[in-house]
Amino acid sequence: MLANTSFEETRIAILENGRLAELHWERKSSQNIVGNIYKGTVENVLPGISSAFVNIGFDKNAYLYISDVLGDKGAAIDSTLKKGQQIMVQVAKEAISTKGPKVTMDVTLPGRYLVFTPFQTYVGISKHIAEAEERQRLERIVDRLVATHLGGKGLVVRTEAEGATEEELELEVKYLLAAWQQIQKKFEDTPPPTLLHQDLSLALQIARDIMSEQVYVYMVDSKDVQKEVIHFVEGFAPELKDRVRFYESKTPIFKAFNIEREIVGIRETKVPLPNGGSIVIQEAESLCAIDVNTGRFTGSKSQEETVTSTNIEAAHMVAQQLRLRNIGGIIVVDFIDMRKASNRQKVMEAFAEACKADRAKIRILPITRLGLIELTRERKRMSTAALLTSECPECRGSGRVLSSETLRIKIQREIFEMTGGRPGGSIRVLLHPDVAEAFRGQHGVIEKNVQRSIKIQIDPQLMWEDYRIILE
């Protein structure tokens, strides 16, 4: 794992067997305060609207509704809260326009598999964990952990806990408890308003979610961040702290490991497959469509065999690219048609297997007779392409621009209109370099059509569809 921290962003690359598998991105501009925990002072209690306002250090006081107040549930708000009282609150919703943030006293601490709910006493298990056997296994483990570590406090088991070992769950309980103790201590020690706890920075989130025996090294290009990560890892897996290293070389870390080049590749729609053929990835707002294209057929195998093996290669590549590009939501993969149901099944199985490396939840529907596979992939963040890019002004997001032939005909027509069709004299046409190149072979045709001598000139400043016609 490689972390690059610079001006306004943190980027983390995860390499598996030397190949880039995941990219994570955090920008300062998109950081939010939801989940932050503050020590605040009650400024106003308004029994008429069952609400209170809490100063947590922002321009606008935070809003606290009675259902988010701890204590006797039936009581009026002014019997549980008093003006001037110091309380711990967590931001549930960000401030919108004139309103301050909405807060709750029912603080929760999310981990990788579990959410610690220190003011609750029940244990809940995510509905998304469907198998009765797995639910029972988790319940048994969590009941023991709550009794031994948490003194009966509440815990919610997240969907991510599916398949987690008892050891992993225990590690997390310890970590959450330590975090909670720190928050309480800070609450005792510091005057309000003060920030007690912030959801982790990306560098720490990655450590929380991924750091394990399987991570060979976590290399960080900032001494401060490295220190922070080490301190954090010591809290739950001290035996791994030596794997958090400082990257010292002068070559920028992402350049040294060839990641910058791979990031450029993420924007390309076409990805070649190892033995010919390719996949074409098209991300739209509502769904992502992926096409599989054949390579050249080799003589030794039958067409059906070649197609099946291309599809299997594509299945691996699609799984890899979804993870790398962090594409979420609905995805449709159009594999090349296969005649035999058994071959369609083979491709389906290869795809399901390849998706196992992904930490995001994936649900795959059975392959259709036309070779389509539909799937959904959990969307935690924006896709990398969506984060890095905005709609192309040149093609207005369509991915297509006027062909050079269309441009040539358009330009000829304009010249004709400018000259009124009168022959003689010369004309200079300034073009985007690639369009100029495409026009070169057509030079005679253009001159003949417009009845003037034409000089084609390159102007690197021009966009593909732009041109200038100058009468001389």
Give the residues across from 374 on adjacent strands.
332
Pairing of β 426-431 and β 453-458: parallel
Residue 71 φ/ψ region, left for φ over 0, alpha for ψ in the -120 to 50 degree band, beta for the rest: left
Q: Among residues 392 and 418, whose Cβ is nearest to Zn ion? A: 392
Give the residues across from 176 on adjacent strands.
none
Q: Among residues 234 and 268, whose Cβ is nearest to Zn ion? A: 268
Q: What is the smallest separation between the CB atom of 459 and Zn ion, expressed in angstroms?
A: 19
Q: What is the smallest separation between the CB atom of 269 and Zn ion, expressed in angstroms?
A: 11
Q: What is the smallest separation between the CB atom of 430 and Zn ion, expressed in angstroms?
A: 21
Interface residues with Zn ion (CB under 5 A)?
392, 394-395
Three-class DSSP category at 230:
helix
Helix (H) or strand (E) holding 146: helix 132-149
8 Å CB contact between 105 and 49: no
Q: Among residues 397 and 425, whose Cβ is nearest to Zn ion? A: 397
Q: Among residues 70 and 395, whose Cβ is nearest to Zn ion? A: 395
Q: Among residues 71 and 397, whose Cβ is nearest to Zn ion? A: 397
Pairing of β 372-377 and β 453-458: unpaired
Burial (CB count <10 Å: 0-12, 13-18, 19+), residue 117: buried
Helix (H) or strand (E) holding 22: strand 19-27
8 Å CB contact between 233 and 207: yes
The Cα 170–Cα 231 span in angstroms is 19
Q: Which two tokens stand for residue 157?
A: 């088991």
Q: What is the smallest separation between the CB atom of 465 and Zn ion, expressed in angstroms?
A: 10
Q: Which residues are within 8 A (CB) of 301 and not within 5 positions of it... i.e. 6 or more apart?
A: 309
Q: Among residues 11 and 325, whose Cβ is nearest to Zn ion? A: 325
Q: Which two tokens stand for residue 442?
A: 């057509």
The Cα 311–Cα 347 span in angstroms is 6
Q: What is the smallest separation between the CB atom of 384 and Zn ion, expressed in angstroms?
A: 18
Three-class DSSP category at 250:
coil
Q: Among residues 215 and 395, whose Cβ is nearest to Zn ion? A: 395
Q: Among residues 387 and 395, whose Cβ is nearest to Zn ion? A: 395
Alpha helix segments (H runs only) across 190-302: 202-210, 223-236, 253-256, 259-265
Q: What is the smallest separation between the CB atom of 332 and Zn ion, expressed in angstroms?
A: 22
Q: Among residues 115 and 402, whose Cβ is nearest to Zn ion? A: 402
Q: Among residues 39 and 325, whose Cβ is nearest to Zn ion? A: 325
Give the residues across from 13 on adjacent strands.
2, 23
Q: What is the smallest separation between the CB atom of 401 and Zn ion, expressed in angstroms?
A: 7
Compute the Cα dihedral for 446, 448, 451, 452 and give only its sign: positive
Q: What is the smallest separation between the CB atom of 317 and Zn ion, expressed in angstroms?
A: 24
8 Å CB contact between 62 and 40: yes
Q: Which residues are within 8 A (CB) of 435 and not within 5 positions of it... i.e. 6 or more apart?
A: 404, 407, 464, 467
Q: What is the smallest separation between the CB atom of 398 and Zn ion, expressed in angstroms?
A: 7
Q: What is the smallest separation between the CB atom of 394 and Zn ion, expressed in angstroms?
A: 5
